[in-house]
Structure 1
Amino acid sequence: MERWIDFSRDRRMLCGACGHQWRSDLDWIDRWEQGGEKCPGCGLTCEHEDAPRVTVDPDEPALDDDWVVTVSWYHTSTQPDWPRRDFDPAAVLTAETRMRMGGDERVAAWAARQRAKALHIGTYEAAVHNMLRRIRDQADRGSQFYLFRVHLRPSVVVREGWLVDPSDFVGDVVLDEVCPPGVGVARYLDYHEDPGGLSLALGREAIAGVQQVPVPLPDAWDADWVREAALALEAASDAPVPAAGKPARFVRPASPRVVLGRELAAALAGRLPVNLRDQFTSTAAFAEGDGPVRWARRTSALLDLIGNPTGVLSALGKAEQRQV
């Protein structure tokens, strides 16, 4: 079962100071984050510790335990075989790295901690947010990503209620801390990806199977935009142009081609909801050495992930389900 996908939907807000709740569109939230709006109840601005934040909508269907295990959930990863049942985080460590970590006993303890971490799945929107964030913040720009549609086991036990995002500063959650014995799935309010939505922390045993497609889809681009963008980029010089005045040390001047590519990406980002624009612009930024056609196709296909989710869902529907 699929839920309605809407990157632009309104969010439910809750003020920690006065308890006032209301619905806001993303533009209001963006202005509020810039200090341009106040809580309608008490006038608190975003600088305060108890300032308003997104919260779970009382009409959120994922509050229904039965619905949680029947609806499709999503995840993006650079691992084509996610989630690995025989996951061994120490398998890729070299002998030198093992020695630096303190030897086999320390490595074994570290690997056990890695395996104890919960997996994360969420809405389609959260999965796309996650991919854009990783490309921008975690040097994954050149990595191949995969979108997974996750099917839960019908018998899995869902923890009662929901938690405020339990992730630590690097996004990790210890499974035993959120899923006590007998519980396989915990709902939590996601602050970072698809803010205001409910995501799930769970163990591998809660997953029945997954379907996957590479993203962006290899042929999901706007042919007219790609042709025009590629022609414009090929006509622009790729020779760096020194900036006027005293040049910054260690900064290579940008070429007209790079500048144009970044302008094209920013123009596409302007079509998106305000909370995705910065991420998309950074993710799609043209870099020295990028091929104009390849860049234009990838950038247009990235936009299609957000603007045309039905195409992605159709591709997922044709993908074989892999048992976990």
Structure 2
Amino acid sequence: MERQIDFSRDRQMLCGGCGRRFVVDLDWINRWEQAKETCPGCGLTCEHEDAPRVTVDPDDPALDDDRVATVSWYHTSTQPDWPTRHFDPAAVLTPETRRRMGGEQRVSAWAARQRAKALHVGTYEAAVHNMLRRIRDQADQRSQFYLYRVRLKPSVVVREGWLVDPSNFVGDVVLDEVCPPGVDVARYLNFHEDPGGLSLALGRDAIASVQRIAVPLPDAWDGGWVRDAVAALEGVSGTVVPATGKLARFMRPASPRAVLGRELAAALAGRLPVNLRDQFKSIAAFAEGDDPVRWARRTSGLFELIDDPTRVLAALDQQDPREV
């Protein structure tokens, strides 16, 4: 079952101070994060430790244990074979790295800890949000990403209820800590990616099959925006203009083409939901030396992942499922 995809949907909020539950839009959350809104029940702002936070929508179909395995789940990764059946995190370590880690015994212990981590799947929105975050924050600007649609085994046992996001500061979850013996899947409230949506922590054995496509789509839409952006970029100089003035030595010189490219990216970002604009503007910024055609197609493809997922879902529909 494919759930409705809506990056701009309203969110449920729950105040830790007075217990008030209320519904807001993303613009309200943006103002609230700047201490410009308060809880309508008790007046707490975001600066208080008991301030309102996003919570699960009571109508989320994934709250029904019997439907968890029937809905589509998503994941983005730079791994072309996720999830790897025989995962060996130590396989890529060089002899020098192994020595620096303290030898084979410590390498084996480290690899066991890596294999003990839970996998994560979530909504389509969460998967896209995760990719944008990685591109911006984890130096994955040039990496090829893949979007996976995940089908669970019908027999999975779902942990009762849901957890507040159990991830540590680097996003890891130890599978045994959230899925005790006899449990295959644990639902948790995602605070960071698709805030308010339910994601899953699970092991590889809970997954029946995956479908995979490279994103953004290689045949990204060459519509009006791409043509206009390329024409505009090719119509200005790519020559770097040195900065002038008292602060010139602290400023990185930029060409008129790079400046225009960043303005085009910022304008496109302005058409997205407010909680994605800064990320998109950052990852889509035109850099010195970028090819205008390649940049415009990639930027348009990233935008379409959010603005119109129908082409992405259609591309996934064409892929044969791979059993895990």
Deviates more, 1:180-189 or 1:234-243: 234-243
Work out the CA distance in 2 between the residues paired with 1:244 and 1:11.
47
Work out the CA distance in 2 between the residues paired with 1:109 and 1:240.
51
Question: Alpha-carbon deviation of 1:248?
Answer: 5.8
**Does 2:304 match 1:304?**
yes
Work out the CA distance in 2 between the residues paired with 1:236 and 1:113.
53
Partner of 2:53: 53
Partner of 1:252: 252
Question: Alpha-carbon deviation of 1:93?
Answer: 0.4
Given residue 79 of structure 2, which amino acid in structure 1 is its aligned partner?
A: Q
Paired residue secondary structure (1:259): helix
Given residue 297 of structure 1, which amino acid in structure 2 is its aligned partner?
A: R
Go from structure 1 to structure 2 and tell me whether the alpha carbon gap of 1:249 and 1:184 turns closer, same or farther (over 3 Å shift).
farther
Work out the CA distance in 2 between the residues paired with 1:65 and 1:91.
37
Partner of 1:240: 240
Question: Alpha-carbon deviation of 1:247?
Answer: 4.1
**Does 2:196 match 1:196?**
yes
Work out the CA distance in 2 between the residues paired with 1:152 and 1:263.
43
Partner of 1:179: 179
Given residue 289 of structure 1, which amino acid in structure 2 is its aligned partner?
A: G
Partner of 2:291: 291
Work out the CA distance in 1 between the residues paired with 2:248 and 2:100.
37
Question: Could you tell me the percent identity over the aligned residues?
Answer: 79
Question: Alpha-carbon deviation of 1:135?
Answer: 0.3
Whether the 8 Å contact between 1:75 and 1:148 is mirrored in structure 2 is: yes
Given residue 286 of structure 1, which amino acid in structure 2 is its aligned partner?
A: F
**Would you say how many aligned residue pairs link Structure 1 and Structure 2?**
324
Go from structure 1 to structure 2 and tell me whether the alpha carbon gap of 1:287 and 1:10 turns closer, same or farther (over 3 Å shift).
same
Work out the CA distance in 2 between the residues paired with 1:185 and 1:12.
24
Give the 5 Å matches for 1:120-131: 120-131=120-131
> 1:143-162: per-residue Cα shift (whole Å, max 9, x none)?
00000000000001000000
Give the 5 Å matches for 1:1-324: 1-247=1-247, 251-324=251-324
Superposed CA RMSD in Å reads: 1.0
Work out the CA distance in 2 between the residues paired with 1:123 and 1:210.
14
> 1:122-180: per-residue Cα shift (whole Å, max 9, x none)?
00000000000000000000000000000000001000000000000000000000000
Work out the CA distance in 2 between the residues paired with 1:85 and 1:91.
14
Question: Alpha-carbon deviation of 1:105?
Answer: 0.5
Work out the CA distance in 2 between the residues paired with 1:91 and 1:247.
49
Given residue 31 of structure 1, which amino acid in structure 2 is its aligned partner?
A: R
Work out the CA distance in 1 between the residues paired with 2:176 and 2:250.
47
Paired residue secondary structure (2:304): helix
Given residue 163 of structure 1, which amino acid in structure 2 is its aligned partner?
A: L
Whether the 8 Å contact between 2:243 and 2:252 is mirrored in structure 1 is: no
Given residue 149 of structure 1, which amino acid in structure 2 is its aligned partner?
A: R
Question: Alpha-carbon deviation of 1:320?
Answer: 0.9
> 1:100-141: per-residue Cα shift (whole Å, max 9, x none)?
000000000000000000000000000000000000000000
Whether the 8 Å contact between 2:148 and 2:212 is mirrored in structure 1 is: yes
Deviates more, 1:176-185 or 1:213-222: 213-222
Question: Alpha-carbon deviation of 1:251?
Answer: 4.9
Whether the 8 Å contact between 1:146 and 1:214 is mirrored in structure 2 is: yes
Whether the 8 Å contact between 1:74 and 1:149 is mirrored in structure 2 is: yes
Question: Alpha-carbon deviation of 1:246?
Answer: 3.1
Structure 2 unpaired stretches of 5+? none
Paired residue secondary structure (1:7): coil
Whether the 8 Å contact between 1:221 and 1:298 is mirrored in structure 2 is: no
Work out the CA distance in 2 between the residues paired with 1:318 and 1:249.
53
Paired residue secondary structure (1:199): strand
Deviates more, 1:217-226 or 1:160-169: 217-226
Work out the CA distance in 1 between the residues paired with 2:112 and 2:145.
26
Whether the 8 Å contact between 1:30 and 1:275 is mirrored in structure 2 is: yes
Given residue 140 of structure 1, which amino acid in structure 2 is its aligned partner?
A: D
Given residue 178 of structure 1, which amino acid in structure 2 is its aligned partner?
A: V
